[in-house]
Structure 1
Amino acid sequence: MHIHFIAIGGSAMHNLALALYHKGYVITGSDDVIFEPSKGRLEAKGLLPKAFGWYPENIHQGLDAVILGMHAKPNNPELLKAQEMGLKIYSYPEFLYEQSKHKTRVVIGGSHGKTTITSMILHVLDYHDRPVDYMVGAQLEGFDRMVHLTEENDFIVLEGDEYLSSPIDRRPKFHLYKPNIALLSGIAWDHINVFPTYENYVEQFQIFVDSIVKGGSITYNIEDPEVKRVVEASENSIRKLPYETPAYAVENGETLLETEEGPMPIEVFGKHNLSNLAGAKWICQNMGIDEADFYEAIATFKGASKRLEKIGEGRSSVAYKDFAHSPSKVAATTRAVKEQYQDKKLLACLELHTYSSLNAEFLKEYKGALEFADEAVVFYSPESVKIKQLEEVTKDQIAAAFERTDLKIYTDALSFKEFLFRQNFEDSVLLLMSSGNYGGLDFDEVKGLMDN
């Protein structure tokens, strides 16, 4: 099979390209720009395009299929030629379904928690040497790639993203997987640039539940009222298996999970992560892992990449960075860190970086999101607002949205960095939340702050 990737450099796309190369396919690809780590990983396998740009001559009758990434535009010259020639064009999720339509598909969906839950499941299966195919949205410790595909494995575990499939396929990715076993962790409005109303966003999860194969199952977070409503209202003939946060305690900065064998120390912390753990346990049990074996494996799970990742620690200080940016994730992450370090001052810094977070109307969703922080800071770049062609947001709008009178707001990367480096972090926790990098903040330098 010869597969050509249009926009091969994306995080998901290059991992799929590597997985298919590993499977023995002939892979070519193109892109107008590719950053690290994608660039180096493609180069190591001889898959990096010889020149950046779009070249119609890359498209020919010798191709078995073309996979189209979200980064490409509908008028992409290579796409137009592939359409003209009548070649088979797949979106990323469509191709994953093609690769797994004869397997048992396990799909983890939700506005938040899906990467962590998928990572937990894969960690447990790997710990017990249970080989599965998979696609997950973060690099996992001990795994070479974020995508793994074989002919022989019976199961495939897929992280079910609700974002769009491709520039010419406006369906959410998780509508295309047709799960046999599914999980829904939470629903909180996101991707406002695609789903302009809350009702429109929730509807995507209703479609997801209804797409589960007849006789399949949905494991769902009964503590989330919207998830409960959506799942229990579905008339799909599937088994509905609720889960809730298990009992746990925090003692001397260590989280102890209550089990039948007594309290068990675990590496992850926070109510949202304990809820994620409960969901992962039920899915693993559906896949043949018994409870005792799940607990043995999960005790060594340290978290998914970029999710509450410890980046520095001193004698009485610690720093974390987290991918959190949506209101529900920011609130859950801030609360988790404060609960884990009750005796330390928590300085929480949030970068508003996404389309949704920089939208003046959506900002209201952040009400109370930083309430568990002892000191709260918001950083955003007016330049990002211009690049995304959004209406300008003001400091006053941000302050009003968070409903926190002592909120510090920075719009200049240098000023934010100077503020950070003036702080005394003795008996403190620094939490940096963003899908960006605060205008070029060097996280290695931040690590050094913890040693002072």
Structure 2
Amino acid sequence: MYIHFIAIGGSAMHNLALALHLKGDTIIGSDDEIFEPSKSRLQKAGLLPEHFGWFPEKITSNLDAVILGMHAKSDNPELLKAQELGLKIYSYPEYLYEHSKNKTRVVIGGSHGKTTITAMILHVLNYHKIPADYMVGAQLDGFETMVHLTDENDFMVLEGDEYLSSPIDRRPKFHLYKPNIALLSGIAWDHINVFPTFENYLEQFKIFIDSIVKGGSINYNTEDPEVVNVVEASENTIRKIGYQTPENFIENGITYLETPEGPMPIEVFGKHNLNNLAGAKWICQHLGVDEDDFYEAIATFKGASKRLEKITETENFVAYKDFAHSPSKVAATTQAVKNQYTDRRLVACLELHTYSSLNPEFLKEYQGALNAADVAVVFYSPHAVEIKKLEPITKEQIAIAFQREDLNIFTDSLAFKDFLFQQDFKNSTLLLMSSGNYGGLNFEEVANLIKD
């Protein structure tokens, strides 16, 4: 196949380009800007465009396909040329479905937990040398790319994102995969810029459940009432299998999972992660991994990148960074870290960075989200608000939304960093939650300064 990528530099897009290159396809692409690590990874594979920008002359009739990324606009000159020539144009999820339409497709959906559950499944399959194609939304230990495609593997494991497919296809990505086996982890309103009401957002999950192949199955989190409602109301002729958080306990900062063979220490912690583990176990069993083999493999799982990822640890201090940004995930992650280290002071920092989190109307959803922290900090950049063309928000609005009188609020990255490094972290835990970097915070510097 000879394939051109429009907006090849995106996190998902460059991984798909690398996967197809490794598979033996001929790949070319364009983008108006490419950042690290995409830039270096594309360059190493010989796929980095020679010049940045859009070049309609790259679009010729001998291309087998064009793959269109979300970063491009609907009036992109390369897209217009491809349409003019009548070339086959795929969105990212459309191409993944096209690749896997003759395979058993496993799709992990949910507002939160889907990356971790997908990562757990892939870790177990990799541990037991069970081959599978996959797409996951984070870089995983032991995996070269976030996408892996072959002609011969029977299974395709897909993280099912509810965000839009492409500039010319406004359907959520997970509507396109038509799973044989599905999982739904949780539903909590997100992506307010695309789904302006909770009811509209909820409808996307109903469509997802109805898209499961007839005779297929869905595993679903019975501890989430919204999930239970949409799954059990579906009239799709599929098997519905519930799961819940397994029995566990914490001793000396280590979480133990209760198994038929007795307590087993695991690397991950928190009620939400244990709930994710229960879902992953079911999916692995569908794929032929028995319970004992699942436990053996999952004991060595340390988490996906930026999902409660440990930055540093000393005798009386530990620091984590996490991708949490939605209100429910912030609350769950903060509570999980506090439960894991009950005798330590918890400093929890949240950066409001996404479109939803910086929306004044959505802010009230964060009420109580940082209550488990001993020291609670919120950082946001007025410049980020401006770039996203949102209505300005004030410190007062944030204070009212979080309903916490001692909340520390920063809009200046240097002031935030000074506050952080003036803290006495003896017998403490630091939790940094963001899909950004607090205006340029170096996480390695955090680790080194705390150690000093």
TM beyond 0.5: yes
- What amino acid maps onto 1:227 in structure 2? V
1:402 aligns with 402
Deviation per CA, 1:267-293, whole angstroms, max 9, x where unpaired?
000000000000000000011100000
Q: Would you say how many aligned residue pairs link Structure 1 and Structure 2?
A: 452
Q: Tell me how far 1:444 sits from its aligned partner.
A: 1.3
2:135 aligns with 135
1:32 aligns with 32
1:115 aligns with 115
Take 2:416 and 2:368, find their aligned partners in 1: how far apart are those partners? 22
Take 2:126 and 2:408, find their aligned partners in 1: how far apart are those partners? 44
1:266 aligns with 266
- What amino acid maps onto 2:403 in structure 1? E
2:180 aligns with 180
1:425–1:449 contact (8 Å) kept in structure 2: no
Take 1:149 and 1:66, find their aligned partners in 2: how far apart are those partners? 17
Secondary structure of residue in 2 paired with 1:256: strand
Q: Tell me how far 1:388 sits from its aligned partner.
A: 0.5
2:84 aligns with 84
Take 1:277 and 1:443, find their aligned partners in 2: how far apart are those partners? 28
Deviation per CA, 1:396-427, whole angstroms, max 9, x where unpaired?
11111111111010011110011011111000
1:318–1:450 contact (8 Å) kept in structure 2: no
1:57 aligns with 57
Q: Give the 5 Å matches for 1:188-227.
A: 188-227=188-227
- What amino acid maps onto 1:397 in structure 2? Q
Take 1:278 and 1:249, find their aligned partners in 2: how far apart are those partners? 15
Q: Tell me how far 1:442 sits from its aligned partner.
A: 1.0
Q: Give the 5 Å matches for 1:161-172.
A: 161-172=161-172
Q: Give the 5 Å matches for 1:70-81.
A: 70-81=70-81
Deviation per CA, 1:310-344, whole angstroms, max 9, x where unpaired?
11112211111101111111011101100110010
Q: Tell me how far 1:448 sits from its aligned partner.
A: 1.7
- What amino acid maps onto 1:130 in structure 2? I
| Pairing 1:411–2:411 present | yes
1:281 aligns with 281
Deviation per CA, 1:337-376, whole angstroms, max 9, x where unpaired?
0011001000000000000000000001111111110110
Q: Tell me how far 1:449 sits from its aligned partner.
A: 3.0
Q: TM-score, normalised by structure 1?
A: 1.00
Take 1:413 and 1:107, find their aligned partners in 2: how far apart are those partners? 38
Secondary structure of residue in 1 paired with 2:75: coil
Q: Tell me how far 1:450 sits from its aligned partner.
A: 2.6
Secondary structure of residue in 2 paired with 1:78: helix
1:149 aligns with 149
Secondary structure of residue in 1 paired with 2:319: strand
Q: Matched residues, percent identical?
A: 78
1:96 aligns with 96
| Pairing 1:320–2:320 present | yes
Deviation per CA, 1:50-108, whole angstroms, max 9, x where unpaired?
10000000100010000000000001000000011110000000000000000000000
1:314–1:450 contact (8 Å) kept in structure 2: no
2:23 aligns with 23
- What amino acid maps onto 1:220 in structure 2? Y
Q: Tell me how far 1:193 sits from its aligned partner.
A: 0.4
Q: TM-score, normalised by structure 2?
A: 1.00
Q: Tell me how far 1:195 sits from its aligned partner.
A: 0.4
Q: Tell me how far 1:45 sits from its aligned partner.
A: 1.1
Take 2:450 and 2:439, find their aligned partners in 1: how far apart are those partners? 21
Secondary structure of residue in 2 paired with 1:183: strand
Take 1:305 and 1:168, find their aligned partners in 2: how far apart are those partners? 31
1:375 aligns with 375
Take 1:415 and 1:315, find their aligned partners in 2: how far apart are those partners? 28
Q: Tell me how far 1:429 sits from its aligned partner.
A: 0.4
Take 2:449 and 2:216, find their aligned partners in 1: how far apart are those partners? 51
Take 1:399 and 1:294, find their aligned partners in 2: how far apart are those partners? 44
Take 2:66 and 2:414, find their aligned partners in 1: how far apart are those partners? 44
| Pairing 1:2–2:2 present | yes
1:236 aligns with 236
1:315–1:451 contact (8 Å) kept in structure 2: no
Take 1:401 and 1:84, find their aligned partners in 2: how far apart are those partners? 50
2:434 aligns with 434
Take 1:328 and 1:301, find their aligned partners in 2: how far apart are those partners? 24
Take 1:314 and 1:146, find their aligned partners in 2: how far apart are those partners? 31
- What amino acid maps onto 1:243 in structure 2? Y
Q: Tell me how far 1:152 sits from its aligned partner.
A: 0.5
Q: Tell me how far 1:379 sits from its aligned partner.
A: 0.2
Take 1:106 and 1:153, find their aligned partners in 2: how far apart are those partners? 13
- What amino acid maps onto 1:168 in structure 2? I
Unpaired runs of 5+ residues, structure 2, are none
1:253 aligns with 253
Take 1:448 and 1:19, find their aligned partners in 2: how far apart are those partners? 35
Take 1:248 and 1:367, find their aligned partners in 2: how far apart are those partners? 28
Runs of 4+ residues deviating >3 angstroms: none
Unpaired runs of 5+ residues, structure 1, are none
1:91–1:169 contact (8 Å) kept in structure 2: yes
- What amino acid maps onto 2:150 in structure 1? T
Take 1:143 and 1:444, find their aligned partners in 2: how far apart are those partners? 23
178-187 vs 321-330, greater mean Cα deviation: 321-330
